[in-house]
Structure 1
Amino acid sequence: MARRSRNGLSTSFWFAATLAAASTATPILFGGDISRLVDSTLKGVSSNLKGLFLPGTSLSALIGEQRCKVYPGDANWPSDLAWETLNKLTDNRLLTKPAPQASVCYNGPLYDGAKCEEITATWNRSYSHFVDPIEMMSPVAQGMTCLPPFVFDSHNCTRGGFPMYVINATEPKHVQMGVNFARNTGVRLVIKNTGHDFLGKSGGKDALSIWTHHFKNIEYIEEFKDEKLGYSGPAFKAGVGVQAFEIYKAAHEKGRAVVGGEGETVGIFGGYIQGGGHSPLSSLYGTGADQVLAFEVVTADGKFVVANSTTNTGLFWAMRGGGGSTFGVATSVTVKAHPDMPTTASRFSFTSEKVGNETFWAGIRAYVDYFIPNADAGTYAYFTIIPNIWTGIFSFNMSPFFAPNKTLEETQALLQPWLTRLDDLSIKFDPNITHFDSYYEAWRSSFPLETVQKINATTGSRMFPRTNLETEEKREELYRNLRQSSENNRVQVHFNMKTVDPANADNAVNSAWRPMYLFSQQAVRWPVNGTAEDTLKRRQEFQTGDMQRWRDISPGAGSYLAEADRLEPNFGQAFWGDKYPQLLELKAKLDPYDVFFATTSVGSERWKVESPGGLPNENGKLCRV
């Protein structure tokens, strides 16, 4: 058996193991020849370090039973020479201790007052963060250790939940090297695409991060056939770094549309599509994961493989809905392309300021009566209900009511019954119903830009099925619970939609998506400068209070893993329902040493981030439970 040393690991692995993996790999569409990993890249690496970069699982047994991942200061932390070798093997794409953006705001060698003012002005815009190798769009999950003082004064800047090393990957071999290195050393590994995950899955204290943002290739395939999936038609193959605004534009130029989220900067071929992914097109075509025809993936043992309906079928099943950062690192995804379509959208708002709270809520109650027919018609309504604790005023915002493949007249007919009831209540609004010639133009004009999550809030979610809406009694019960949450000062975000399954997809998507007609989120807030103890108490009370009320009226339903609370109880059932046992079996088979970990991911109950103050964030060591 190989022995560890302070400088790395020695090993008796054969290069033949790597050659076998290379010979069975499907040719890479985006990147170089995979054989370079074997007979060229490792040349010149000292014998006592080669074991750190080879594929397989044998070395993992050496570190598989230690309580925590390996961290700086531990005896087994890789040597500087090992990190330097990783840099060379990834074509000098290893970033060492990338500084948090807000470090320019604090005393030290990076202080720059003008730069601090610049980043503060745009801090809440997602465009300011996805281009950065470490920034996460959830400061709460990061640990709140380095934000612009105007946003939150952390008094100094520390790394908190940010990784220590980042591989700026542009080829599959870069990903392979990172996975092999993490597996064979025990260093914590995280995967970051855009950083959109609000649970903090793209971060980890002192981890090695693989940044996939620059896998940007897009290929249009006029005719893609998969008899087993029962699909024959157009498709797009895209690198996982491709974002919504990029693929939607590319699809539009081909007269097509693809299923993706409403947020324009989301990397929809990464965690979004692997977690299921709801879409403005879900009422017509289903979830993002339902569209997948194939993945190219680096697995936990360092192999680069294709996963589709006939090859690596277990991996293919799991990665379509089983969650990102769990079963492998995708480098490309092939998805169905649908015909472009004219689309109509409506944006409007009203408040309780002039009509009073009871009339305002009567307008909301009237809307609940139309959730079923609107979703059955294939629409996607994105709306918020926002309380103002200081004024007592409630606000409703429809942003937007989105009707793919609907004419202006058809959309007006769908909305008119509810709008007439609003008129009867003397609620003033301007429906602003607009028709667009294409899906892309409607999407680009209708949805708001995502903002970075607040510093003193987190969100829980629930999928309410049709049974919550089928009778007057059940609609009233749902309405009362939504109103109670608003009166308890919970900001709410809702999506009235369906997630159909036209192809009868067999994948890991939570079955609770299929009967759902309302996807609902509510947020808990706490004092910005509150203690860790008080913050944790409020978050726990939110779960046992307002969130439990929502669970109680929707027994057997679920939650969406990408828009949820890290404290969601029994998250396996909530996020995957009856598919969780099968996912656990596949996790044990595909990643027996837990190379991949993300909070609330499949199998993550075996681990815990030991954060200061006990708060649910990434600012602590990852250790076994």
Structure 2
Amino acid sequence: MPSVKTVALVLFWAPGLGTSAASHIAKYNSDSLNGLLADSIQLTEQDIGDFSAIAFGDRAEAAATVSQREQHQRCRVFPGDDLWPWTEEWTRFNNSLDGALLRPTPAGAVCYPAHPAYDAAQCQFLLRDARSTRFWLDDSLTELAQWTQGSTCLATNETQAQGKNCTRGGFPEYVVNATTAKHVQIAVNFARNKGIRLVVKNTGHDFGGRSVGAGSLSIWLHHMKETQRLPSFSPGNYTGTAARFGTGVEAWEVSNFTAAHGGITVVAPGGNTVGGVGGWVGGGGHSVVTSTLGLGADQVLSLGVVTADGRYVTADPFTNPDLFFALRGGGGATYGIIISAVYKVHPPITLTTTSLSLTLSSASSPSIPATGAVVVRNADAFWTGVGLYYRFCGRVVEGSGGQGFSYIYPQADGGFRFTTTSTFLNRSRDEVSRIMQPLYTSLRQAGVLTAADADPTTRNSSIYGASRRGGTGDQPVNTRYRSRLLPRANWEDDARWTATMAAIRAATEAGYDENFYFHATLTSPTREVAGWPGADNAVNPAWRENLMHAMLMDVQPDNFTGQQARARDARMQRYTSLLRDVSPGAGAYINEADPGEPEWQQAFFGSNYARLLEVKRAWDPWQLFWAPTTVGSEGWAVEAVDGYPNSQNGRLCRSA
């Protein structure tokens, strides 16, 4: 028997729902069934028949014994291995999925003259127009961070592509376009039983490498879009209206749902195309209303989940409570795959925003300031203004339940541009002006604003979730997050605050030469605002003490070699350490953090780690669900072939 197999199976491409699935959903919407259709279509023993490759697992047996294959299998089965499924087995697997199995070509292949998929016109579309469409979001392979895949098949101009190869790199080998729980169950069982690496992908908004993996089978949840309003839902201490969403629903679709129901409030991501269930909830999930209503993970009342044994289960405060605890904040792609979620529904909320912009520019070579920006000529005065805003805003988000949102960008003349938006909930324009006035007074007293500078204006108010949003945009980038959750203790002590601002300034000023910038959101998601059952979930305890989610947005060149990437990473670790040093014992937000974070168990999960590890071992004794820096992932590592730090372009193998 040869050791290398050629898979010649032709699999169809389905960018949307199949006809039968779409008609089922239409029936569900019109008939107002009790649950989502995707949850109700589940795998049965009759479906499995004699196809043992998709049979259910036994958690109790797996926890007590280790199979002979697992004892000797150092790595997950990889294409070309003797144990890699044959063509006939992939065909049967596809048939069990009713044709939902895909083997797509990386989208960027159209830009490489040496690749069979080369198409100059399509390449120009990717380079010029795709960013204003749904193309990248609706691509089954694309993760929006290029470096995690290994940057092996970038959409690039023909000149740069000449003489280069487009390879699959860290992209999955096969993709299951899942639209039902049954599809997810079959894929979970097949990957577990065949020893293949499994990854889970929704929208592709992942900057930690959790949605890609060389030689893997990917479960793509993107088309599980059902929504349902529950007029009365009363589990435990919650009584009122609720909303049920399929796991593929994005933030813009949540907003359209709430707008269609009179502007009710459901907490959702700020980015339009970020998934509103799945990994966002798994990491905690912050938003503009976090300081008043809590994190995304605090909103969940019930979950429909496929676990590592292939079973569909309900997780809520009374059914599988340990799983319910872990899935809300304990890290995505770890304990099970969420099929649907029931969320709290809140009354309509008014948002009122105001902005402030400062531009540091030299008199000899001035930058052109943004419209309405205050120009500051002295660096110390500029950073004094930044510090006054951050300290003021940190106190305001606690007292007024709002959010501060800011960037500090390097400018061409060696200066910086500081932009902020402050958002307040259920406050009138006059109230917001009164709240912000002490800040403007302080800026004038410090000489940052002059008598000639007008107070920043307060924008018109709007109802959160009452307007319809669009879902276009987004494209792959080479941005890498480095972040820290800075606690309120840093605001309460003058010496700690001085050290905090010194660290922010030093790290940000390094960005002028290193091509990165500073981004911060200020929120206060305490246990009190989390409510029930949010106060008892796996959210990183550092979030409950947080006032600023501070980020260094590292934009890496596309043409970096592995050696250059490693050198870059070492430098960025030094800059991020400045933020760690002023927040000992705090942490970082796993969804917007560096997968190379040192001591990540404490940084991402804090005191919850030991409890989460017990849940992981109980529900996934096979260690099927693996992703970098998730609970229990220490036992495995990717043997990357490109030298990129934390790249997923390589075999997944047991650690030494």
TM-score (norm 1): 0.89
Tell me which residue corresponds to 1:23: none
Shift in CA distance, 429/587, structure 1 to aligned 2, threshold 3 Å: farther
CA distance in 2, matches of 1:34, 1:101: 31
> SS state of the match for residue 98, structure 2?
coil
- Is the 1:126–1:265 Cα contact (8 Å) retained in structure 2? no
- Is the 2:485–2:588 Cα contact (8 Å) retained in structure 1? yes
Shift in CA distance, 598/450, structure 1 to aligned 2, threshold 3 Å: farther
Is structure 2 residue 641 aligned with structure 1 residue 619?
A: no
Shift in CA distance, 559/93, structure 1 to aligned 2, threshold 3 Å: same
**Candidates 581, 585, 590, aligned match of 2:610:** 581
Tell me which residue corresponds to 2:422: 401
Tell me which residue corresponds to 2:202: 193
Is structure 2 residue 491 aligned with structure 1 residue 469?
A: yes
Is structure 2 residue 431 aligned with structure 1 residue 410?
A: yes
Tell me which residue corresponds to 2:211: 202
CA distance in 1, matches of 2:287, 2:159: 33
- Is the 2:42–2:312 Cα contact (8 Å) retained in structure 1? no
Is structure 2 residue 366 aligned with structure 1 residue 375?
A: no
**Candidates 464, 484, 488, aligned match of 1:439:** 464
Tell me which residue corresponds to 2:571: 541
Aligned structure 1 segments of 4 or more residues deviating by more than 6 angstroms: none
> SS state of the match for residue 48, structure 2?
coil
CA distance in 2, matches of 1:326, 1:152: 42
- Is the 1:284–1:500 Cα contact (8 Å) retained in structure 2? no
**1:120-140 Cα deviation digits (max 9, x unpaired):** 124556843221111110001
CA distance in 1, matches of 2:472, 2:383: 27
CA distance in 1, matches of 2:565, 2:179: 40
C-alpha displacement of 1:346: 2.3
Which is further off, 353-362 or 326-335? Answer: 353-362
CA distance in 2, matches of 1:151, 1:451: 22
CA RMSD of aligned residues (A): 2.5
CA distance in 1, matches of 2:467, 2:498: 33
Is structure 2 residue 58 aligned with structure 1 residue 56?
A: yes
Tell me which residue corresponds to 1:13: none
C-alpha displacement of 1:454: 3.5
CA distance in 2, matches of 1:292, 1:174: 24
Residue identity opposite 1:301 in structure 2: D
Tell me which residue corresponds to 1:253: 260
C-alpha displacement of 1:277: 0.6
CA distance in 2, matches of 1:161, 1:111: 20
1:447-486 equivalent positions in 2, closer than 5 A? 451-452=474-475, 454-455=477-478, 457-486=479-508
**Candidates 377, 380, 400, aligned match of 1:358:** 380
C-alpha displacement of 1:403: 1.4
C-alpha displacement of 1:460: 0.9
Which is further off, 338-347 or 328-337? Answer: 338-347
CA distance in 2, matches of 1:465, 1:292: 25
Tell me which residue corresponds to 1:384: 407
Is structure 2 residue 545 aligned with structure 1 residue 515?
A: yes
- Is the 1:143–1:619 Cα contact (8 Å) retained in structure 2? yes
**1:73-129 Cα deviation digits (max 9, x unpaired):** 111001111111111111100002x11111111123321111111111245568432
C-alpha displacement of 1:366: 1.7
**Candidates 101, 107, 122, aligned match of 1:101:** 107
1:415-430 equivalent positions in 2, closer than 5 A? 415-423=436-444, 424-426=447-449
CA distance in 2, matches of 1:36, 1:541: 50
**Candidates 552, 557, 567, aligned match of 2:596:** 567
Is structure 2 residue 520 aligned with structure 1 residue 494?
A: yes
Is structure 2 residue 309 aligned with structure 1 residue 289?
A: no
CA distance in 2, matches of 1:128, 1:42: 35
- Is the 2:601–2:631 Cα contact (8 Å) retained in structure 1? yes
Tell me which residue corresponds to 1:304: 312
CA distance in 1, matches of 2:499, 2:401: 25
CA distance in 1, matches of 2:40, 2:541: 39
> SS state of the match for residue 492, structure 2?
coil
Residue identity opposite 2:407 in structure 1: T
**1:507-550 Cα deviation digits (max 9, x unpaired):** 1111110111111001345554343113212202322x111121
Which is further off, 142-151 or 256-265? Answer: 142-151
Shift in CA distance, 418/140, structure 1 to aligned 2, threshold 3 Å: same
The count of residues paired between Structure 1 and Structure 2 equals 588
CA distance in 2, matches of 1:579, 1:449: 37
C-alpha displacement of 1:581: 0.6
> SS state of the match for residue 621, structure 2?
coil
Tell me which residue corresponds to 1:3: none
Shift in CA distance, 33/319, structure 1 to aligned 2, threshold 3 Å: closer
TM-score (norm 2): 0.85
C-alpha displacement of 1:458: 1.7
- Is the 1:245–1:265 Cα contact (8 Å) retained in structure 2? yes
> SS state of the match for residue 259, structure 2?
helix
Tell me which residue corresponds to 1:78: 85
1:118-197 equivalent positions in 2, closer than 5 A? 118-122=125-129, 127-150=134-157, 153=160, 155-197=164-206
- Is the 2:198–2:626 Cα contact (8 Å) retained in structure 1? yes
CA distance in 1, matches of 2:454, 2:629: 41
Which blocks of at least 5 consecutive residues in structure 1 are unaligned?
1-5, 8-25
CA distance in 1, matches of 2:38, 2:387: 54
Which is further off, 321-330 or 27-36? Answer: 27-36
- Is the 2:112–2:158 Cα contact (8 Å) retained in structure 1? no
Residue identity opposite 2:98 in structure 1: D
Residue identity opposite 1:312 in structure 2: N
Is structure 2 residue 285 aligned with structure 1 residue 277?
A: yes
